[in-house]
Structure 1
């Protein structure tokens, strides 16, 4: 993503060479001597601005000149019943012009007066960070990040503008960052690496606003956020974002940190995004380190957790028309991933600094990774103690097998499995509590090239089970996530003056979450099906059509729910049905 001309960014092919490098770190290989050659599908995973401009020029004039609002489907954020607010504070207003390789935009942050007046942090019922932006002209999608006191609060990608302009907004629940919001003076930093030159003239105008809601006296207190948050990121000053940049499969980026002596629980929240050669990592060939990626969390060199990322497709990816006006899942608000580090607190509580770092298995340049360490502190004690009882993190297991009869068409299948388990105890005023964290992760990817290399189909599923048992009552959680992905790239008329480039994407973010020992449960099923066709004549775009259908179904045992069914053709939203009064209905 970003910084490079799109047509040039992914003009890579499945090589016909019989030589292959040592592949997937930690994965065993079963490759024949010949690999199937590449074809045209990969060459246009991104379209040039000239191509998209040609599509815009073919639209009716009133459609091409009007501003369009793009949106990512998500459930609305509503405060608990009886809450007061919102109390809204504009944190930053800035126009991001030529900001590439320049320092982040910063602003001084102090807790809003309404937050100080509300008293203890427990009075906060909901905090929402809202990003609103617009852009006009010619520009690509750019990654951006927002940090407060070095802790990342939001990561997203921008919309790609149209001649008439584009607008979009993101609202993220940032209640878990309550200790940061209520802390003293801090630095707010926003990085959006934008490029302005003779071709790319789109300037991103953005406003960042914090909305706060408060519980009224007598209202019950929800599960509390952490008491402290330690950023695991790079420090200012920088000419980039505060994220670490992982450039290859052997690169480990880390920092040293110490935790308060009275911590009794620790959760690491990880932010991750893929760029440049690895933007479309799920389509990578054996010579590009294959299609499997994982982010490993390392404590003093040991792997203590793993993140198998959701395949976020930015607004310029595969075919940017597909994501207009409904954008890809997670594109405006990238998901984060929690790794329970409580079993390892015994090591962290020794009063010394420890190295916390990240690596990306099979990485190519580049991955942006950082994290926030959420800590729960014992208010009745100045010191807690702990120890590790059991820890098992076998090496990553898996394989990649390639089959081809002619060196052009063929198939390769990649699989991976990872199990990590850790059990540890922490002694505090709450007693001696034992916590177990277990991860069970599986991955399967099939890549089929056909029609003499002119078509490619990718089928991928990532399945992740994260289980926290024992320990603090609020920590006992079972989270099951599944990320299905299907991509088809094809065309017809190859070798003639007229061609059709076809794209189809099916993407899902599904999860089931439950608290152990209680009835609290929630499910989410979020799925997209999209397709686009671009017609070329003498290598020039002469026409295009695209459509999107998305269903979003969320249900929770507390009666909360949200159903949405939305469909678009071209820039027109055909229908958008949503229902927030579906208590008792189950998302399907």
Structure 2
């Protein structure tokens, strides 16, 4: 018998040859030079050929209190066959005035469809923005009618006057000869107990988002999409210091290492790095007008490979799947969705975990300090936080294809330096931070390596906050921020690379706030920012876009520079936004 891997390689090669020819134009909303409206270089979700069926979730709903906005969902009656792609589109706006940034989430049957935050308005600008999310892997959820809700808690009164409005819809693209049906999970299970959907509050490292599930007895592969969003005292976790140094540096305590930890039945099952999102009111609101920080309006989930546990999850017994945040210090909002692929030709899959070196590896960073206090009370020096872990999780599953051994190998790390200069006229804190993860998922049929996926994430972040006290009692607070989101994916079948993709999204911004001697904000100046977004894959997709702003308005834009013929073009099946990609899953 020909090993299944050979069949898959042939199919993949033919698929690559076919789809490489079918590019869909990929254009983000074009920022207008001179505009003060929201402007980003982010790509939209590329679309397959053909007309979609559209299901509206809600239209022009006002969010002016803390109540959820419920809606009913039914699948499209005109697109009942297989889908090549499913895309969520949502449009939001907020009226001019004063308003905080707000967390925004959309749900269906307990599963998260969108997670992000809102743009802050100004007295003269009523910003509007558009977000999209590829929900193709959630097709099993969308096959059935259900109840959903939109949650954007918003205080509106005489002081905070901005009213948020939103519209959302789902677009279903029928499969065709030009756009194959997506190979999607057979079931999607939300973590958490809310049947419609909401986040869980994780105040400490021991708090957990968990659900006990009895899954089908033929689980072949499993993945967990995770969101962990910092809130309240944890909003600026990336600048916090260990409790021992919090008082003398006038900073938040609890340290600044955060990591999502996934467990199955209490056994460590994987980790997910936490992205240092900065919301549009964060640090200095003018930094993010009109260009918000990386993913601030539209978070990307992190997908954890739980396939080594497939045999264990198929035993017909209840299993707890849980998420915790190491270092949580009041608090993180978390949600997760378990995606399960089933063996269509087996009623019962058996197997077990054979190796798990993550067990016993505590998420405890090493702390160092050169902080020193002078006799006059001046403070200077560094606080460093380091952690670097390596682990292997391996398990087998007896399937209709034979015994499949799945191995996940991961290196994950966090490296941070907080540099302080504090004296009678200066409070300066410089943050230099990097979070990274390198993982490899392998699938073996017997002793034969059929597929492997390599995935790299790198989250560089730096902040220079420099506050100077003048002789008249006024204060200048200058902030400079650099954010990056870098991702590399590669799929190999039988040792040959059949697909690879790279995402690189960076935002650099600066501004200076001026406060009078009474502490009131009197002015700001020097605002400027730049965003650069680049995507490429091994089948010829290329997307590049840049923009620059100054004094709260767009000053320049460019799309396509650096791509062949100076124009963006992205295959319809690609994921230029960095969202999880089922086409890169081993064993597919």
State the TM-score, normalizing by the size of structure 1: 0.82
Q: What does residue 61 of structure 1 align with? A: none
Query: Does residue 544 in structure 1 map to residue 527 in structure 2?
Result: no
Deviation at 1:404, TM superposition (A): 2.0
Q: What does residue 519 of structure 1 align with? A: 498
C-alpha separation in 1, matches of 2:200 and 2:280: 23
C-alpha separation in 2, matches of 1:298 and 1:272: 15
Pairing partner for 1:360 from 325, 337, 355: 325
Deviation at 1:286, TM superposition (A): 0.8
Moved more, 253-262 or 434-443: 253-262
Q: What does residue 212 of structure 1 align with? A: 172
Deviation at 1:219, TM superposition (A): 3.2
Runs of 4+ in 1 over 6 A off after TM superposition: 472-475, 584-587
Give matches, 1:314-333, under 5 Å.
314-333=279-298
C-alpha separation in 1, matches of 2:524 and 2:356: 55
C-alpha separation in 2, matches of 1:68 and 1:152: 31
Deviation at 1:213, TM superposition (A): 2.2
Q: What does residue 312 of structure 1 align with? A: 277
C-alpha contact (below 8 Å) 1:559/1:583 kept by paired residues: no
Q: What does residue 428 of structure 1 align with? A: 399
Query: Does residue 113 in structure 1 map to residue 84 in structure 2?
Result: no
Query: Does residue 568 in structure 1 map to residue 549 in structure 2?
Result: yes
Give matches, 1:246-265, under 5 Å.
246-265=202-221
Moved more, 504-513 or 412-421: 412-421
C-alpha contact (below 8 Å) 1:443/1:460 kept by paired residues: yes
Q: What does residue 51 of structure 1 align with? A: none
Cα 1:475/1:294, change in 2 over 3 Å: farther
How far does the alpha carbon of each residue in 1:352-393 deviate from its partner, in whole angstroms, 9 at most, with x for none? Answer: 111111211121111111111111112222222222121111
Moved more, 321-330 or 399-408: 399-408
Equivalent position SS for 1:409: strand
C-alpha separation in 2, matches of 1:321 and 1:467: 40
Moved more, 344-353 or 322-331: 344-353
How far does the alpha carbon of each residue in 1:189-247 deviate from its partner, in whole angstroms, 9 at most, with x for none? Answer: 2111111233112211100111222332x33636612121111123147xxx6111101
Give matches, 1:147-546, under 5 Å.
147-164=107-124, 165-181=126-142, 183-216=143-176, 218-219=177-178, 221=180, 224-236=183-195, 242-287=198-243, 288-393=253-358, 394-406=361-373, 408-452=379-423, 454-470=427-443, 476-494=452-470, 496-517=472-493, 518-538=497-517, 539-545=519-525, 546=527
Moved more, 414-423 or 270-279: 414-423
C-alpha contact (below 8 Å) 2:41/2:546 kept by paired residues: no
C-alpha contact (below 8 Å) 1:96/1:194 kept by paired residues: no
Query: Does residue 69 in structure 1 map to residue 56 in structure 2?
Result: no
Deviation at 1:67, TM superposition (A): 9.0
C-alpha contact (below 8 Å) 1:469/1:516 kept by paired residues: no
C-alpha contact (below 8 Å) 1:70/1:326 kept by paired residues: yes
C-alpha separation in 2, matches of 1:382 and 1:584: 52
State the TM-score, normalizing by the size of structure 2: 0.82
Q: What does residue 99 of structure 2 align with? A: 139
RMSD value over aligned CA atoms? 2.3
C-alpha separation in 1, matches of 2:396 and 2:564: 39
C-alpha contact (below 8 Å) 1:72/1:332 kept by paired residues: no
Cα 1:494/1:451, change in 2 over 3 Å: farther
How far does the alpha carbon of each residue in 1:458-508 deviate from its partner, in whole angstroms, 9 at most, with x for none? Answer: 000111112101159997311101111110001323453333210000111
C-alpha contact (below 8 Å) 2:230/2:333 kept by paired residues: yes
Aligned length: 508
C-alpha contact (below 8 Å) 1:486/1:506 kept by paired residues: yes
Cα 1:372/1:244, change in 2 over 3 Å: same
C-alpha separation in 2, matches of 1:263 and 1:346: 7
C-alpha contact (below 8 Å) 2:192/2:209 kept by paired residues: no
Equivalent position SS for 1:414: strand
Deviation at 1:556, TM superposition (A): 0.3
C-alpha separation in 2, matches of 1:254 and 1:145: 19
C-alpha contact (below 8 Å) 2:84/2:182 kept by paired residues: no
C-alpha separation in 2, matches of 1:259 and 1:312: 34
Moved more, 266-275 or 207-216: 207-216
Equivalent position SS for 1:115: coil
How far does the alpha carbon of each residue in 1:306-356 deviate from its partner, in whole angstroms, 9 at most, with x for none? Answer: 111111111111111111111111111112111111111222111111111
C-alpha separation in 1, matches of 2:275 and 2:292: 15
C-alpha contact (below 8 Å) 2:104/2:152 kept by paired residues: yes
C-alpha contact (below 8 Å) 1:95/1:203 kept by paired residues: no
Equivalent position SS for 1:247: strand
C-alpha separation in 2, matches of 1:67 and 1:554: 26
Deviation at 1:173, TM superposition (A): 1.5
Deviation at 1:419, TM superposition (A): 2.4
Moved more, 200-209 or 275-284: 200-209
Q: What does residue 57 of structure 1 align with? A: none
Q: What does residue 579 of structure 2 align with? A: none
C-alpha separation in 1, matches of 2:174 and 2:63: 37
Deviation at 1:542, TM superposition (A): 3.0
Cα 1:571/1:474, change in 2 over 3 Å: farther
C-alpha separation in 1, matches of 2:436 and 2:331: 24
